[in-house]
Structure 1
Amino acid sequence: MEYQKLFEQITDEFSSKILNWAIKKTGSRSDGEDLAQEVFLQVFIAANKEQKVDKLENFIWKVAHFVWCNNLRKLSKNRDLTSLSDSVWDGLDFVDDFVNKEAMEFELGRVYKKIADLSYTQREAMILHYLDGLSISEVSKKLRTSESAIKWHLFDARKKMRGELETMKTDNSYVYRPGRLVLGLSGIPGPNPDIRKINDSLVRQNICLLCYRKAKTIDEISELTGIPKPYLEYDLNWLVKQEFLVLDGRKYTTIIPIIGKKHRQDIGDLYLSTRATYIDKVISHFINSEDKIRSLGFYGSDLEFGKLMWPIIMMFLSYFSRNSKVAISLKTMDDRAIRPDGGRYYVVGNDLSDSQDLNPNGYFTPKDWKDFYGICSDSCATDSAYESYYWLGVYNFKGVEYHPDIVNCSKGDQKVWHRLLCSLTESSFDPNRLTSCEKEKLAIAIQRGLVKKSGNDYKLNSIVMTKEQLTKLQEEIFRPLLESIEPVTQELTSFISNLHSKNMPQVTRGCIDYFTYLDLWYFGIYTYIFAAEGGHLCISQTPKEGAATNLVIVK
């Protein structure tokens, strides 16, 4: 049998078919690639043992079915293997023997290369083993695959890079380091949002990143990533169909907005350069208004002012987003289109790749302040008349595990939490008069640092104010400040909007306005950062302390 011609025929005619079949079987791109690779390896092993293959397609699909059934048995932890005819092959555990003997013919190696050349698993194995120095065992655990599979990937890499291996240890230019793109949305999601299918696929993420701002052909994408074209076609077609890419002639272009680290650095530079006329003005206003703020008499108004600044900044940020004419205008145009997945939303792309060009002399957000959890508020216990609470997760208490329970529970439980927290500020508070549900929540509040218990005394570590006190805070403290900074806010908005118009693909005006609003809203986070740097903010020693301090309950 002319094995070389047979292998070429199998690869040319069936690579795309088997890959698409494998993806549908496994439900994910990465698992589909692994299954397709295993199918072809077994086909070549079996064909190498057979003297004659009469019906090639039937033979291939018979092997594919066997491999799929065997994988299912492995998943169910059943070690009994379904045997195919002894004339096909003896079993599946061939990799170690293949690696140790290196006896497979060159034709097989050529086909292996076409199937697995620089696949995600192989790239990661090369990086982890040769560049990062991990052992075979460590690499297999990290990539969640067998040690024999890792040996095969590294063996194939050695055959392709014999003379360049030593150089590769100190120069990673030989290996395409995949970027990392995380998509979010603003609007109403569909029942199964497409963004999840990109967040779960490193291939789709990198296609979107590579085609952003500069269109590329499938040949260029294949050359840049090292992924064979048959493996790219399925994802490219899906990305076009689901309106993440557009195909113009032979070139693909990403049509969703993606924000990278350089843009965030530009925004940091902007707020730093305007600090004296904008954010410092906000901080100084609060410091100069300390007596007025305390005179409102809300629960917690006697806190050390460095602690009181946390909820005051948060409340002003919320007031700003709802009352600034500039901010409101940016939220007026809602031209969110209906997406192919049935949702109606803007796609929000975040490029988290390490290899981004940044200005070494530009602004770098301090590590502890890089992430936050946006302001949460709800009218759960006030009959929709006004917000019942406000909370913002930032600094060392941004993680979900530090969210106050009132933020992440049902409407019914929110009302119970609201009633309990308000009652703690009353002199007549008696834990013995609480319901069993309220007693349980009180115990949780103590455990999470929201309430401090000393003997028979209970002290809430958060702010509580009446609607009247909140209104006075807004009218007497926030409104004059908002009016004084509005001209600068307009200037910042024009700069940020032009920045997005220049850097984004051809998106709608409403989308540009939305991203401009987000960057404008971030001034609140920079206010925290600059206040902390100036010594005007008491830094929470523990996440529990910070989470409690930044919670405001409105009676």
Structure 2
Amino acid sequence: MDKQQADRIIKEYIKPLYGFALNKTGKIAEAEELAGRMTLEVYQTLLKKTEFMDLNSYVFKIAHYVWAKYVGEKAKASNQMRIDDTEMMSTDEGFDAVIRYETAGALRREIAFLSHQQREIVVKYYYGGMKISEIAASMGLSGGTVKWHLFEAKKELKHKMNAIRSMGNLGINPIRMTSLGHSGSPGSKGDTADFLATAIRQNIAFSAYCKPLTVNEIAEELGISPVFVEDEAETLEQYGFMDQLPGGKYRTNMYIDDPSREKSEALHRLFEEYAEIAVEHYFHAFFSMAEAFQESGVYIPGGDFNLLLWSLIPYAGKQLNFNELNKVSHEEVSVSRKDGGHYAAYAAIDREFDVSFDRALYYVCGDMHRNSGEFALKAWQMDTWWCGRQGGWRDNPSSDFISLMHAINGDLPQNQTNIDAYRRLFDKYYLLRTESGLEVNIVYCKDKQTGERLHAAIPQPSERIKEAAAKLDQAVYRLKLAGQPEHAHKYVRYWTQNSMASGIMRTYALKHLVDIGMLKAPEPHRQKGISTMMFNNQS
């Protein structure tokens, strides 16, 4: 195979081979060394052979071979460790082999820390056996430039080979992220959870969060080769999760929360306190307004006022949003993504610690708004522990509400053509089968006038709530700000402002209302229909 084709193929397999090595070893440092051996063995084989029946299978046969050899060496080394030092040192040949092995490993490591161009030249010259003229032609450089890079690379390698590289904390104790989410519209490739799905991307993002770092600095912090960092950092930068700063440094462009037991307990007490205020000075009034709400003409499943409140209270809680001055706008923190998404990204470090409360009771995913030109349809939904839905925004497409409205209007025949649509509505519990026929299991307004009457009946917040909201924002901001880098302060402000109207506050309010007996937990067959509202805005 010619060298250009081999170079192209090996580049495609660098990351898959690293993934294979990481899966086998489970350790970043060992995976980097093993992947380096695999890559070199595959590359040398590509240069020797001309045809492959199944290239992918052949590459991973080599990977398995190198892995087996690696395991054998480790087992042998483990046995040798039982021999005393004098016996080990007495065998010159064995000692020389260890020196050659260590030198080769160190050399491969330092080659990885060269600039991309110098690394490519060194690999082509020393490992690929290419002549300077061939390298120059393949890279579009002059022969003199290639010679200069080789000279500089050798000088750099000679200097660095005598240095000891330190592995950063993330190489020894990598982090894991949880609660990866967004505020805004995800693109065709998904959101934060999709782009930061792997441990290596999560650790790259975290490493450059508090302090801008170069690719080499990120690699040292993670204890891996820069080869595996370059492409990942470039992808994260292309999709707006990292910014590239002057000097080749990267800085993470999102909000990463680092929770602790003390912070979690303090926030829990704070939200409990302000949930009581929200109930007493706002939501309490809803319970005496059954007649006004019902007169709007809103459809309530089973005519059960309790079910209306399970949807109307979290829906109306959105408007507890005040103090527009000094707030961070969505545009200040959101990014227009390459795949069409436009959102602010969020994640939290997965820290293991116990708390005095059940976190599951305060699970929330919302607000999820869905729009469709058909019927001028609008829908709103918020997932909580009480509704039992766990799919989040991915399991909440507009098509469900369009199908439901067609079913309500009687223009979705129950036939083979529409079987999937009905199956979906039954699985989601938006429709129920009853003895008298099909029953809609969510709150909805059949036309524009009904929606307007319902909105007009919702109480307006009092000045007491507005004052409490301002104090809550400041308290949450102070707690979340601890340990955050300066450039991230605007993200902290954005994600902590409007806390009184936040999804988490509404879950605390619902929990308080259940605890004091004002709200009754929905029956199992009603659960998945709550905290959902649909509006047909046609006249």
What are the within-5 Å matches in structure 2 for residues 88-107 of structure 1? 93-95=68-70, 97-102=72-77, 105-107=97-99
1:110 equivalent among 80, 102, 108 = 102
SS in 1 for 2:44: helix
- Do the aligned partners of residues 450 and 77 (structure 1) sit closer, same or farther apart at CA in structure 2, a change above 3 Å counting? farther
Moved more, 226-235 or 523-532: 226-235
CA contact (8 A) 2:380 2:534 kept: yes
1:176 corresponds in structure 2 to: 173
By how many angstroms is 1:350 displaced?
Answer: 0.8
Which residue pairs with 1:205 in the alignment? 202
The amino acid that maps onto 1:545 is R
Q: Secondary structure at the match of 2:405?
A: helix
Cα drift, residue 399 of structure 1: 2.2
Answer yes or no: is the 8 Å Cα contact 1:337–1:344 preserved in 2: no
User: 1:275 aligned to 2:275?
Assistant: yes
1:509-544 deviations in whole A, cap 9, x for unaligned? 8755532346442322222232233333333464x6
CA contact (8 A) 1:339 1:345 kept: yes
1:418 maps to amino acid: M
**Take 1:37 and 1:550, find their aligned partners in 2: how far apart are those partners?**
52
In structure 2, C-alpha distance between the alignment counterparts of 1:485 and 1:525, rounded to whole Å: 17
Letter in 2 for 1:534: I
Residues 350-376 of structure 1 show CA distances to partners (whole Å, capped at 9, x for unaligned) of: 123225xx7x77x74532432424333
Q: CA-atom RMSD, angstroms?
A: 5.3
Aligned partners of 1:311 and 1:235: how far apart in 2?
42
Deviation, 1:61, is 4.2
Instruction: Supply the AA of the counterpart residue of 1:258.
Output: I
- In 2, the alpha carbon distance for the partners of 1:464 and 1:43 equals 59
Where do 5+ consecutive residues of structure 2 fail to align?
1-5, 23-30, 81-93, 110-168
Q: For residues 469-521 of structure 1, give each alpha carbon's deviation from its aligned partner in whole angstroms, at most 9, with x where no partner exists.
A: 43333223x23346652232233234445556665444488755532346442
Distance verdict in 2 for CA 1:276–1:328, change over 3 Å? same
Deviation at 1:284, TM superposition (A): 1.8
Shift, 1:39, TM fit: 6.2
Match of 1:418 among 401, 405, 413: 405
- The correspondence for 2:379, drawn from 376, 389, 393, is 389
Displacement of 1:311:
0.9
1:452 aligns with 432
Count of matched residue pairs? 439
1:353 corresponds in structure 2 to 350
- Change in Cα spacing, 1:335 to 1:264, as seen in structure 2 (3 Å) is same
Kindly, what percent of the aligned residue pairs are identical?
13
Summarize the alignment of residues 186-197 of structure 1 with structure 2, pairs less than 5 Å apart. 186-187=183-184
Give 1:316 shift. 0.8
Letter in 2 for 1:420: A
Question: Superposed, which structure 2 residues align to 1:153-552 within 5 Å?
Answer: 176-180=173-177, 184-187=181-184, 199-213=196-210, 225-227=222-224, 244=242, 254-262=252-260, 266-300=266-300, 303-318=303-318, 320=319, 324-326=321-323, 330=327, 334-335=331-332, 341=338, 345=342, 347-355=344-352, 364=357, 366-383=359-376, 387-395=377-385, 396-400=387-391, 407-410=396-399, 414-423=401-410, 437=417, 441-442=421-422, 444-446=424-426, 448-466=428-446, 467-476=448-457, 478-481=458-461, 485-497=465-477, 504-507=484-487, 511=491, 514-517=494-497, 519=499, 520-522=501-503, 523-540=505-522, 542=524, 545-552=526-533
- The one-letter code of the counterpart of 1:206 is N
* CA deviations over 1:310-362 (Å, ceiling 9, x no partner): 111232134x17xx44469847563357668586745423123225xx7x77x
Q: Deviations over 1:359-408 (max 9, x none)?
A: x77x745324324243333244433xxx543332221533229988xx42
Output the TM-score relative to the length of structure 2: 0.61
Q: 1:182 to 1:299 in 2, by over 3 A?
A: closer
Deviation at 1:468, TM superposition (A): 3.3
- Gaps (5+ residues) in structure 1? 1-17, 47-59, 83-89, 118-171, 425-430
